[in-house]
Structure 1
Amino acid sequence: MKFFIDTANVSEIREMAWLIDGVTTNPSLVAREKRPFEQVIAEICDIVDGPVSAEATALDVEGMIEQGKKLSQIHENVVIKIPMTEEGMKAVIGLSKAGIRTNVTLVFSPNQALVAAKCGASFVSPFVGRIDDVGGDGMELVSQILDIYDEYAFETEVIVASVRHPQHVLD
């Protein structure tokens, strides 16, 4: 098991650096830091010796690929966060072919996780808390994804996102 922290606050990351294996961010979290996006991501990469997800904000394939290529040049630890959409999956294919790692976010079903892995995603982020919020079982989704990846020998890793309580970690 690996621990990722979802923040762009450098002080929080420094405080938890002894424990965490990676960082996930999003544009809102980075904006709270009131510094240039690239500067924040670079500083995080200097602290954490592991994957640092930086989100592409474009909505079209070409824009996501362009942003992904630019962001990946910040540091070798940068992973491009891409939404689970048709356009996003096409961008994942393009970025994977360019040797750029991706984290597919907003995953809510086993089928979505399968498509993301098939497209070459390095990571998927199922939103377990949001699934639980609407009466589902987020950790059951994680179990299903892991079974699929094991069955078909995908190398895509799972980052459990939207963790709401300790039970999500214990399950």
Structure 2
Amino acid sequence: MKFFIDTANLDEIAEAKSWGCLAGVTTNPSLYAKTGGKLADFEPHMLKIAELCEGLPVSAESTATTAEGMIEEGKRLAALAPNIVVKLPVCEAGLAACRALADAGVRVNMTLVFSPTQALMAANAGARYISPFVGRFDDIAEDGISQLDNVVTCIKNYDWTGKNVDDTVEIITASVRTPNHVTQAALLGADIATVPMAALKKCLHHPLTDQGLASFEADWQKVVAQA
């Protein structure tokens, strides 16, 4: 399973990329707002992320509310850099825009997916990536992992050749809150987990690893002291 980072913060992206295991970036309007960015700087900021992650897919989300607006904005975003993927919400307008963009050779990440039927419709509309949410189910005391399981099973039941730009559909586990979400997604066979920086660091660290490193360092200092 591949790791994406879910952020629009350039410093976080650079740090995660330096670890050597980053395979992509996802952003959304809320994440961009957290950077303090202005409307006029949105597209230049997406370009900065794309350049920082050259060769890795970077999802930039359209904020339009009509199919026509999504198509126009999607083409403009995709033209910024070859690795930009246009992110669209699952809705009537989003599906129509997805089909048009896919037919024009633009990769689409369909987001805000909460059901297998939404995922199947997105795949049929040409989505290259489908982003089912996990954590938001947990927020309302439902099981997000079981919902993800249903999406993974449904999508992987079928061959999506010819439906989209790259003849494949990858599932991005989104709204990830904990390392357990990542583990369960990998066990289910999800292709990607997009993880915020705080959760990504939790995936990396473990108290026994930290304890072991401290022990090794303490013992090595004893060796150095005898030199």
Note if 1:54 corresponds to 2:54.
no
Superposed displacement of residue 168, structure 1: 0.4
Which residue matches 2:182? 169
User: Which amino acid letter does the alignment assign opposite residue 34 of structure 1?
Assistant: G
Give the corresponding residue for 2:28: 26
Structure 2 matches for 1:96-115, cutoff 5 A? 96-115=102-121
Conserved 8 A contact 2:133-2:148: no
**2:71–2:97 Cα contact (<8 Å) kept:** yes
The separation in 2 between residues aligned to 1:153 and 1:132, in whole angstroms, is 31
Question: Is the counterpart of residue 8 in structure 1 residue 8 in structure 2?
Answer: yes
1:160 shift after superposition: 0.7
The separation in 1 between residues aligned to 2:138 and 2:32, in whole angstroms, is 26
Residue 82 of structure 1: SS of its match in structure 2? strand
Report if the CA contact (8 A) 1:82-1:92 is conserved.
yes
TM-score by length of 2: 0.72
Give the Cα separation in 2 of the matches to 1:132 and 1:119. 28
2:88 is the counterpart of 1:82: yes
What amino acid sits opposite 1:121 in the alignment? A
How many residues of Structure 1 are paired with residues of Structure 2 in the alignment? 171
Q: SS of the counterpart of 1:3?
A: strand
Relative contact order, CA 8 A, sep 6+: which one is greater? 2
Q: Deviations over 1:95-138 (max 9, x none)?
A: 11101011111000011000000101011111100012222221
Amino acid corresponding to residue 165 of structure 1 in structure 2 = T
Q: Structure 2: which amino acid aligns with 1:125?
A: S
Correspondence for 2:46: 41
| Deviation, structure 1 residue 33 | 4.3
Q: Distance in 2 between matches of 1:33 and 1:69?
A: 25
Max Rg structure = 2
Identity %: 49
1-structure distance, mates of 2:132, 2:157: 18
Larger mean CA deviation between 158-167 and 58-67 belongs to 158-167
Instruction: Tell me how far apart the structure 2 counterparts of residues 26 and 68 of structure 1 sit (CA, whole Å).
Output: 14
The answer for unaligned runs of 5 or more in structure 2 is 161-167, 185-227
In the alignment, structure 1 segments of 5+ residues that lack a partner are none
> Would you say the 8 A contact 1:8–1:33 is kept in 2?
no
SS of 2:2's partner is coil
Tell me how far 1:65 sits from its aligned partner. 0.1
So what's the TM-score if we normalise by structure 1? 0.95
Name the Cα RMSD after superposition.
1.2
Q: How far apart are the structure 1 equivalents of 2:105 and 2:5?
A: 25
